[in-house]
Amino acid sequence: MAGRIKRFSENINIHYFSFEIFFHDELKAYPKMLAIKNKEIYYSKNAHTVVIQDNERKCLLMTENKLPTSTNWCLIPVSPAHYECKPTKKKYNKSSFGLKETDVVYVHSGSVSPWAGINQIIEAIEKGLPDNTYIFIHNRSKFNKSDGHHRQLFELKENGANLILHDGLFESYDEYYDFLLCFDYGITIYDPDGGIFTGKNIEEIGLASGKFSTYMMLGLPTILSKCNTYKQIINDYAIGQIINDKNDLSYHINNHSLSKCKKSDCEQFYSMVLDPTKAIDSFINALS
């Protein structure tokens, strides 16, 4: 729409916000989506500014859409505005879920699907967790026992696995953050499956992951799937560990790989890299 309007007025600037990167070769089986992608490629070349999350995703979009080197870029991570924890108002703690405060808990919050790493999580549970160590899975939707992965999780729990399943809703983001603050560590895994949204788009998810940003804001050291952005971050900041061919999720949990990562370092990383406030203000100021 904006591209067509610009054809009638050269004084209009287009600012293109890229939250998902769609790849031409993954759209071949979807003619309507492919037609939209071709229009996106055409009109994005005329954008005054392209807003995207990080340098890796910038390079992917530049190559995919054949954008000129003169393109003006603005990098804004998908990240919540800073949340100020109010300990006196806490609604949740580990005991709310039948856990001891001394238990070590890794939280996976979001979709419970293969692309969101559930196969790797199930594998880690099957291999066994250390004593007093749990994986807590919060499903953004309701669990459904007709789903094979969901059914497998319930079977593991019924057989005594150190696993907590939860699909409750939250009334606000503050309540959700309060819930996450119960836990010790985060799990952020993406397994590309070739889908339109869940193929190459999540292979280099980087700072487009709101889950990762939220964990960092709340000070939760995190186990991360391998992508170039995360590898660089872990090289520069002691905020988590990367899953790779040698060290899988089970390895990191059983070897306590996150034990030396500090809550304060994660919070500082959020403030330095992920807090979107300054980048958003800069972009808005540039519009005036």
**pLDDT tens digits, one per residue of 211-259:** 999 999 999 999 999 999 999 999 999 999 999 999 999 999 999 999 9
Assess if residue 284 is contained within a domain. Answer: no
Question: How many domains would you assign to the chain?
Answer: 2
Q: How far is CA 232 from CA 54, 108, 134, 210, 252, in A?
A: 12, 22, 28, 18, 19
Q: Are 226 and 205 in contact (CB under 8 A)?
A: no
CA–CA dist 112, 143 (Å, integer): 8
Mark which of 53, 75, 97 sits at the end of a domain: 75
Asked whether residue 30 falls in the same domain as residue 165, the answer is no
Task: Tell whether 34 and 155 lie within a shared domain.
Answer: no
> For 123-152, what is the mean pLDDT?
97
Contact in structure between 150 and 144 (CB atoms under 8 Å) = yes
Residue 208 located in a structural domain:
yes
Mark which of 43, 75, 107 sits at the end of a domain. Answer: 75
Is residue 282 domain-resident?
no
One domain, residues 132 and 207: yes
Judged on CB neighbours under 10 Å (0-12, 13-18, 19+), 98 is exposed
pLDDT tens readout for residues 80-124:
999 877 665 678 999 999 999 999 999 999 999 999 999 999 999
Shared-domain flag, residues 23 and 101? no
Question: Is residue 99 in a domain?
Answer: yes
In a domain, 182, yes or no: yes
pLDDT exceeds cutoff 70 at 157: yes
> Does 197 share its domain with 252?
yes
Rg (CA), the chain: 21
Task: Summarize pLDDT for 24-39 with one digit per residue, the tens.
Answer: 999 999 999 999 999 9
Same domain, 138 and 158: yes
Stated as kind and residue range, the H or E segment containing 122 is helix 118-127
pLDDT for 12 beyond 90: no
The answer on 18 and 48 residing in a single domain is: yes
**Does residue 10 carry a pLDDT above 70?**
no
My answer on whether 69 and 113 are in the same domain is no
Among 44, 75, 106, residue at a domain's last position: 75
Residue ranges making up the domain that contains 53: 2-75
**Whether residue 177 is found in the same domain as residue 219:** yes
Q: How far apart are CA 139 and CA 109, in angstroms?
A: 6
pLDDT at 8: 46
Would you say residue 286 lies in a domain? no
Chain mean pLDDT for the chain: 93
Question: Is a pLDDT exceeding 90 seen at residue 204?
Answer: yes
Same domain as 188, residue 45: no
CA 40 from centre of chain: 24
What is each CA distance from 179 to 171, 172, 269, in whole angstroms? 11, 11, 21
CATH (domain of 97) = 3.40.50.2000
| One domain for residues 9 and 101 | no
Cβ-Cβ contacts under 8 Å for 219 (sequence gap 6 or more): 263, 264, 266, 267
Q: Does the residue 237 lie in any domain?
A: yes
Q: Has residue 288 been placed in a domain?
A: no
Q: Let me know whether 67 and 135 are in one domain.
A: no
Residue 3 has pLDDT above 90, yes or no: no
